[in-house]
Amino acid sequence: MSQLTVACAICNQSLRADHCTPARALRPSLRAFCNSTRSTPLLDTDEICRPCSMRARSKQLTEQLLKERGQLSAIELEVTAKAALHEAVATNLEAKFMGSATRGQKLADAVARVGGSWGFVTAFMGALCAWLIINSLFLGSKAFDPYPYILLNLALSCVAALQAPIIMMSQNRVSARDRMQADHDFRINLKAELEIAGLHEKLDHLLHEQWESLITLQQAQLDLLAELSEKLPNGG
């Protein structure tokens, strides 16, 4: 069974009818934008192919944002293009962030995670107390680190000197993830704003068309009642 083909009013390419959208179904602002780029306005019976309608919507959203915000960033241009193509913006940020981590960064995260836990604090205090008790009570004059515990102070200084930059590396990673999260949230919020504005316009357009259809139907009913009343004897 052959498919009905129609010609796109913008690119003049012949396509299947189910791959096109009637001009009357376009949102008023999108149709007005298309008319502004043409020498002749679109008719209600004209058909627009999906690639042309997507490109027109992308250009319209870009111009709309330019008027509202001025110069657009690369992120705003990317989100605008995806909104026009109805593509998803949300991603699994945690998997993307952890997938790009190096072995050193993962090790720094693990050290910071262990060093910032109560288990590490308890174990460290236990080892410290055991060190003091062994060198002060059990070994006596044979202690390998007698009072004032110079070897212990050296060990603690080395641990602090190594732990501090490792924790800072992990904190830098957390800051980088927060920046990625803020960027991701901005993309989602911007796309949501564009989609909600488009939905409001579509609803207003549908309500306007339904209102006009109701008025036309009501007028037809009134005309039919008038004809019936004229045909009845004595005018009713």
In this structure, what token pair is assigned to residue 111? 């050290």
- Chain-centroid distance of CA 58 in Å reads 17
Tell me: the pLDDT tens digits for 33-80? 888 878 788 888 888 888 888 888 888 788 777 777 777 777 777 888
Sorted by where each begins, the domain ranges of the chain are 1-87, 93-185
Q: Which residue has the higher pLDDT, 73 or 232?
A: 73
In this structure, what token pair is assigned to residue 184? 């991701």
Amino acid of residue 196:
I
15: β partners: 6
Residue 9 pLDDT more than 60?
A: yes
Cα 111–Cα 115–Cα 121 angle in degrees, nearest 5: 155
Tell me: the pLDDT tens digits for 118-132? 898 899 899 999 988
Mean pLDDT, residues 137-142 taken together = 79
Q: What is the 3-state secondary structure (H, E, C) of 53-65?
A: HHHHHHHHHHHHH
Task: Compute the distance between CA of residue 102 and CA of residue 125 in angstroms, rounded to an integer.
Answer: 32
Residue 190 CB neighbour total at 10 angstroms: 19
Tell me: the pLDDT tens digits for 108-118? 888 888 888 88
- Chain-centroid distance of CA 130 in Å reads 54
